[in-house]
Amino acid sequence: MRCVIARFPFDLTKGEVEQSMNGVTPEPVVGVAVTIGSRVYPVMQVGEVVTRQNRRDFTAGEMRRALTRLGFTCHDAPPVTPAQDTSAGGGALGW
């Protein structure tokens, strides 16, 4: 499938993307994520690996559209909630 990412045309297939990401350790997900196989990657990481372009050259929206058209599941990362420190055992202020 032909995709235009950062004004450059790419002919990508789902298999090529899966093969490119094989063996790549996923970074922590912030923002939009994509599920490839059993792993969840940030779309910007996938875009950088697949296109060999700097992440500043394309947007997460461009990558999300391209990956969705290829048949991957893209989703927003769940919000991170800060962990509560219950070991202090103090009052309301944690003293």
Structure tokens at 6: 């950062």
69 half-sphere exposure, CB direction, 13 A CA radius: 14
Q: What percent of the chain has pLDDT over 70?
A: 81
Average pLDDT across the chain, whole number: 86
24-36 pLDDT tens trace: 999 998 889 999 9
- Give the pLDDT score at 84: 65
Which tens digit of pLDDT belongs to each residue from 49-61?
999 999 999 999 9
pTM: 0.77
SS3 at position 4: strand
**One-character DSSP codes across 29-63:** P-SEEEEETTEEEEHHHHHHHHH---GGGS-HHHH
